[in-house]
Amino acid sequence: MATTFFGQYLLAKGVIDREALLDALDRQRQSNLSLPELAVQQGLIDRKRADAIMVQYRLSNQTMESILSEIGGLAPEQVERLQHKQRSSWLRIGAALVEGGHLSEEEFATNFEEYRSMESAAEAVSTCVELTVFHLARVAGRPAKLESVGLEEDVLEDGMHRFSQRIFGDGDYTIAVDLPPVLVASVAKGMLGFDVEAGTETEADAVSEVVNLIGGNACTRIEQFGPLLRPEPPIRSAADTLVSPAGPVVRATVVSADVSFDVRVFAVADEET
Amino acid sequence: MGETMTKVSVMTVDDSAAILTIIAAYLEDSEFSVIASERDGRRAVQRFEEIRPDIVLLDLIMPGQSGVETLAQILAIDPDACIVMISSLGTEDAIHECLTTGARSFLQKPFTRDDFIVFMRGLGKTA
C-alpha cells in the first residue's frame, strides 16, 4: 500500500485546493534549507563549495555528512549542529498550510489525526496481505507472488472457497482468503503432512488453522506500530452464506504456479466499530 | 523409546482438529505421550480433573470458553499444573495475561517439530 503524503490527503478530501497546496510547498522550499545552504547561511562555507557538495551528493552514493566533511572541510560537531538546526526549523506541510492561512490550527489537528489513523489502517491491511501470502506459500510449499492489489466490491467467485478471520480492537479487520480446490488441498496437506480427502471437515479445519495462524501473527505484527488487536476464531463461508462488511474491500490477487487466489481485507471504518 | 518406558503425559486442548493432529504427530516417538485431546475448554477442565496429565498444551483463542478462562479453572483444581499456552497471537498483552494468570510458558505458532520437542524438554517435566 502506498503511503499518501499529508498534502495529497487534504487535497483529495477537498479540505484544501491545488493553489493552497502549491503555496504551502513553495513556503516549504523557501524555509527548508539543505545542509550546504545552512552552512553558507552560517558562514561556514561559500556558495561555490555548497554547489560542489550538492553535485557530489547527487552523483555519488556518499552520505551528505561525509561530503560535508570531505569537500566542505567541516568537523563532525559542525555537521551535527547543522543537522540540529535543520531539524528544529523544518517547516512541515501542515504548518505551511496554517502559515499561509489555508487551514486553521483546529482543522490541521483534526485532519492530521484522521490522516494518522488512515495511514495506520493502510499499514495494517498491508501487513495482513503480506502475511497471508507468506504463510499460504510456506504451508502449501508453492511459490506465490502478488499480481495486483485494488479496492473492489466483495464477491466470492464461482468455485472458490473462502476462509476468513476477524481481528479487532483498535480497528476492525477481516482477512479473507478465497482459494480454488487445488490450493485448499495443497494447504491442507502441507499443514497436516498427509493427503486429506477433498471437501471433508478435516480439510476445511486444516486450512482454517492456517488462516488462524495468519490472523494471530498479523495481530502480533500490527501491535508493533500501535493498534492492539485480537483474533476471533476463523470461519469458512460458501457463496450462498457469504456476509461481507459494507463498502469496498482491498483485493490482492496472488499467483501461485498455475493457479491464482485472492486475499481480501475488509477494514471497517471507525464510526462503524 | 522402549515400550516399557514411562512417558510424560500430555493433554492437548485446541478447537482445531488440525492442530491436535499435528501436535500428536510431533510427539510421536518421543518421551511424551498425548493421553487426551479436547476441542472445548469446559470439557478440558473436566478431563484434567479425571486424568491429571503432566503437561497441558492449551490454545488461547477458542470459541466459547477462552483459553485464559480454562487456564484459570485448571489452576483452581491444581495450582501446580504445568500448562503451556499455544497461540498464533504473540502480542505482549496476550503473553502477559497468560503468564500472570499462571501459565508455565507461552509458545507462539508456527513452530517446527524440532523446535517443539526442544521446547517440551525445556519444561523440565519427567515421568
Cell numbers at A92, concatenated: 512541515
Mean pLDDT of the A107-136 span: 89
ipTM of the complex: 0.80
For A242, phi then psi, to 5°, come to -70, 125
* pLDDT tens for each residue of B24-45: 999 999 999 999 999 999 999 9
pLDDT at position B127 is: 58
Query: For position B1, what pLDDT does the model report?
Result: 47
Structure confidence at residue A247 (pLDDT): 63
CA distance A232 to A167: 6
pLDDT at B69 over 70: yes
Task: Give the one of A135, A208, A219 whose C-beta lies nearest to B91's C-beta.
Answer: A219
Other C-beta atoms within 10 Å of A238: how many? 10
Q: What is the mean pLDDT of residues A136-155?
A: 87
A127, A201, A209, A223: best to mutate for the B interface, most B CBs within 10 A: A209
Going by C-alpha positions, the residue among B63, B72, B122 that lies closest to residue B98 is B72
Q: What are phi and psi of B111, to 5 degrees?
A: -145, 155
| Mean pLDDT for the stretch of residues A146-151 | 86
CB contact set of B93 (below 8 Å; sequence gap of 6+): A223, A228
Please state the pTM of the whole predicted model: 0.71
Segment A165-179 mean pLDDT: 91
Instruction: Judge whether residue B5 has pLDDT over 90.
Output: no
Nearest-CB residue to B18 (from A206, A216, A232): A206
A178 Cβ contact partners less than 8 Å away, ≥ 6 residues apart: A156, A157, A160, A161, A162, A261, A262, A263, A264
Cα distance between residue A172 and residue A170, in whole Å: 7
* Whether the predicted pLDDT of A87 surpasses 70: yes
| Per-residue pLDDT at A212 | 93
3-state secondary structure of A6: helix
Interface test with A, best of B61, B85, B116 (most A CBs within 10 A): B61
What are the phi and psi torsion angles at A229 (to 5°)? -130, 155
| A132-to-A59, A127, A140, A199, B110 alpha-carbon distances in Å | 40, 8, 12, 22, 13
Radius of gyration of chain A (CA): 25
Mark yes or no for CB contact B110/A201 under 8 Å. no
Please tell me the CATH superfamily of domain A120-272, with its number: CheC-like (3.40.1550.10)
| Measured distance CA(A205)–CA(B18) in Å, rounded | 6
Q: Is A202 on the interface with B (CB under 8 A)?
A: yes
pLDDT of residue A113: 87
Report the C-alpha gap between A265 and A171 in whole angstroms.
Answer: 12
List all residues 6 or more positions away from A190 whose beta carbon is below 8 Å from its beta carbon: A138, A139, A140, A141
Q: Residues of B near A (CB-CB distance < 8 A)?
A: 15-19, 21-22, 25, 61-63, 87-94, 108-110
Asked if A232 contacts A172 with a C-beta cutoff of 8 angstroms, the reply is no
Topology (CATH level 3) of domain B8-122:
Rossmann fold (3.40.50)
Per domain, the residue ranges of chain B are 8-122
Tell whether the model's pLDDT for residue A241 goes beyond 90.
no
Lookup: cell for A76: 563532525
Domain ranges of chain A: 6-115, 120-272
Q: Within an 8 Å CB–CB cutoff, is residue A171 touching chain B?
A: no
Gap between the Cα atoms of A214 and A165, Å rounded = 9
Please check the confidence at residue A269 and state whether its pLDDT lies above 90: no
